[in-house]
DNA sequence: TCTGGGGTCCTAGGACCC
DNA sequence: TCTGGGGTCCTAGGACCC
């Protein structure tokens, strides 16, 4: 990779399209989950709104109005009940079916503006604007914002820069600065200098709390200082990851746009329980359900799993003797069969289960994933049985896709373990099921939840 | 009573082999 | 019984992200 002189950025920004110079835009939905709720409930506009994590545990999305009354990201619900009452904060359980669908709409809209798009997370996408270097990029970004707002109802912010890290910085600065109109272009060196000087090193993408503390000890607290720091010294402190961040801040692109979503290398399904769980039978049922979810994801990406792990743990916030344990099973021949993996998971669970413990969480991890098309059978494998299994799984997936999740499932998952249509726990549901007391309907994904007009 | 879930990448160190 | 170096592979743990 050839290094570009950081100074050249100034001229790049004004010269006609330089094919080799990448330009990234980061588009992200403001308070995404809250914004999704607002789309279907306009009475939430201008109100403080928060969306909660699983089990209605803590705050994972909040509007500006909620930030203004002092609610922070990650705040446990039970510690902010005063604020909620005092300021009439509107509180919602998370509704991933709705957010996922809104996300897909947003991404489809963004794809109209450039074929080179990386869906980075549920509410963020990197766009390559390299081909638009002749245009006023901030203008173009404002047009993108307008259309996304018009077609999906979601407000966004857009940051533009010659690298992903600078686009991220631009995005955050655009959000913070209310006069920016939600768009900031950091392609030009002078703009970089002034913004980075006011930007905390701790807020740079890839710099977490640990790294920020290390940098502070070295006297680096702003993004500008980080950019101009000795790159070898930073690498010594923060490994190759830190080096890349410094180079990206200098305008040298190290992180490419990744347009194709690679297959997952690991699939995790785990959840905390709505209530304490003590019995092996209950844990087994939970594990069977999580394994079922994991297997669905596994088959969706057409992989087979060779290693399965199960873990159990107590509530780490509770002042009780803590217990954590995990067990790993080598599956031998790769498999994507729900029944096989549930059997393995429950067998593993038995080896780590201890009586008399108040369990809070369990989970299933599938790893060493390889293409299902290339499963290598040993001499002793029953290939006929494997083929039957595969057929059965295909039928189950097809029916569940058509009739709704869990229409068909294996017996080990328990007969009444169903959460209701929108995912909330039914009365009399097993203790392990999740709590979601304030979930909105699935407006966009379920016929019976369609919004009625008039 | 009440504190999420699902991912990735990097490195160090041990096991093992020649 | 003692003497090495060097390579690969695997895993656990750390750090970070949304």
Task: Quick: pLDDT tens for A287-314.
Answer: 999 999 999 999 999 999 999 999 999 9
pLDDT at A6 over 70: no
Rounded distance between C-alpha atoms, residue A118 and residue A306, angstroms: 29
Residue A167 vs residue A390, higher pLDDT: A167
As ranges, strand B nucleotides with an atom below 7 A of a protein CB are 1-11
What's the pLDDT tens digit per position in A221-263?
999 999 999 999 999 999 999 999 999 999 999 999 999 999 9
Helix crossing, A383-403 with A280-300: angle to 10°?
90
Question: What confidence tier does A442 reach under pLDDT thresholds 50, 70, 90?
Answer: confident
Question: What confidence tier does A414 reach under pLDDT thresholds 50, 70, 90?
Answer: confident
Sign of dihedral through CA atoms A372, A376, A378, A382? positive
- Contact at 8 Å (CB) between A329 and A287? no
Which CATH fold topology does A267-413 show? Dna Ligase; domain 1 (3.30.1490)
Q: Of A200, A208, A209, which is closest to residue A227 (Cα–Cα)? A: A200
Q: Which residues pair with A184 in a beta bridge?
A: A159
Q: Give the protein-side footprint of strand C (Cβ within 7 Å).
A: A 120-124, 168, 204-212, 328
Q: Which residue is nearest to nucleotide B1 (CA to C1')?
A: A275
Distances (CA, A) of A424 to A105, A371, A417: 25, 35, 11
- Which nucleotide comes closest to A271 if you measure CA to C1'? B5
Determine whether the distance from the CB of A402 to the nearest atom of strand B is below 7 Å.
Answer: no
Rounded distance between C-alpha atoms, residue A163 and residue A238, angstroms: 20
What's the pLDDT tens digit per position in A339-362?
999 999 999 999 999 999 999 999
Determine whether the distance from the CB of A297 to the nearest atom of strand B is below 7 Å.
Answer: yes
Question: What confidence tier does A4 reach under pLDDT thresholds 50, 70, 90?
Answer: very low
Structure tokens at A137: 């990029």
pLDDT of residue A19: 54
Rounded distance between C-alpha atoms, residue A309 and residue A325, angstroms: 10
- Contact at 8 Å (CB) between A324 and A314? yes
Angstrom distance, A116 CA to C10 C1': 37
Average pLDDT over residues A46-50: 97
Residue A330 CA, chain-centre distance (Å), reads 28
What rounded mean pLDDT belongs to chain A? 90
Angstrom distance, A267 CA to B2 C1': 29
Angstrom distance, A382 CA to C16 C1': 43
Question: To the nearest 10°, the Cα dihedral for A175, A179, A180, A182?
Answer: 50
Angstrom distance, A433 CA to B5 C1': 15
- Which nucleotide comes closest to A79 if you measure CA to C1'? B2
Work out the percent of chain A whose per-residue pLDDT is above 90: 73
- Contact at 8 Å (CB) between A33 and A96? no
HSE toward the beta carbon, residue A421, CA cutoff 13 A: 10
Determine whether the distance from the CB of A309 to the nearest atom of strand B is below 7 Å.
Answer: no
| Domain locations along chain A | 267-413
- Which nucleotide comes closest to A294 if you measure CA to C1'? B6
Angstrom distance, A281 CA to C7 C1': 48
pLDDT of residue A355: 94
Determine whether the distance from the CB of A62 to the nearest atom of strand B is below 7 Å.
Answer: no
pLDDT of residue A345: 95
Percentages helix, strand, coil for chain A (3-state, rounded to 5) are 45, 20, 35
With vertex at residue A448, the alpha carbon angle to CA A445 and CA A450, rounded to the nearest 5 degrees, is: 60
As ranges, strand C nucleotides with an atom below 7 A of a protein CB are 12, 14-18
- Contact at 8 Å (CB) between A280 and A257? no
pLDDT of residue A447: 63
Element (H, E) at A268: strand A266-277
């Amino acid at each position: 990779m050839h290094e570009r002189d950081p100074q050249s950025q100034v001229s790049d920004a004004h010269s006609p399209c330089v094919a080799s110079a990448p330009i990234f835009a980061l588009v992200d939905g403001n308070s995404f989950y809250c914004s999704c709720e607002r789309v279907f409930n306009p009475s939430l506009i201008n109100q403080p709104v928060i969306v909660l994590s699983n089990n209605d545990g803590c705050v994972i999305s909040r509007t500006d109005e909620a930030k203004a009354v002092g609610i922070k990201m990650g705040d446990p619900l039970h510690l902010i009940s005063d604020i909620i009452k005092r300021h009439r904060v509107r509180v919602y359980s998370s509704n991933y079916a709705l957010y996922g669908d809104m996300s897909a709409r947003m991404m489809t809209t963004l794809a109209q503006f450039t074929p080179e798009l990386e869906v980075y997370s549920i509410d963020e996408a990197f766009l390559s604007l390299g081909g638009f270097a002749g245009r006023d990029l901030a203008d173009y970004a404002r047009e993108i914002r307008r259309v996304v707002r018009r077609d999906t109802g979601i407000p966004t912010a857009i940051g533009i820069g010659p690298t992903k890290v600078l686009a991220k910085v631009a995005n955050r600065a655009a959000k913070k600065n209310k006069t920016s109109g939600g768009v900031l272009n950091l392609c030009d060196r002078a703009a970089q200098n002034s913004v980075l000087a006011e930007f905390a090193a701790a807020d740079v993408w890839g710099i977490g709390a640990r790294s920020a503390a290390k940098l502070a000890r070295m006297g680096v607290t702003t993004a500008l200082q980080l950019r101009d720091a000795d790159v070898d010294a930073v690498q010594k402190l923060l490994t190759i990851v830190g080096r890349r961040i410094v180079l990206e801040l200098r305008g040298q692109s190290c992180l490419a746009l990744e347009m194709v979503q690679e297959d997952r290398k690991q699939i995790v399904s785990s959840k905390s329980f709505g209530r304490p769980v003590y019995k092996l039978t209950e844990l087994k049922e939970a594990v069977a359900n999580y394994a079922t979810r994991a297997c669905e994801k596994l088959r969706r990406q057409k992989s087979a799993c060779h290693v399965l792990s199960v873990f159990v743990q107590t509530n780490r916030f509770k002042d009780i003797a803590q217990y954590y344990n995990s067990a790993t099973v080598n599956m031998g021949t790769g498999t994507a069969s729900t029944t096989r993996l549930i059997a393995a998971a429950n067998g593993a669970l038995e080896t780590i289960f201890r009586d008399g413990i108040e369990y809070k969480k369990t989970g299933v991890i599938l790893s060493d994933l390889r293409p299902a098309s290339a499963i290598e059978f040993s001499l002793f494998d029953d290939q006929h049985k494997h083929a039957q299994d595969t057929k059965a799984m295909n039928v189950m997936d097809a029916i569940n896709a058509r009739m709704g999740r869990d229409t068909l499932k294996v017996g080990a998952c328990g007969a009444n373990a169903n959460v209701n249509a929108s995912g909330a726990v039914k009365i009399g549901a097993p203790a392990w099921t999740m709590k979601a007391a304030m979930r909105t309907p699935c407006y966009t994904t379920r016929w019976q939840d369609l919004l009625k007009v008039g």
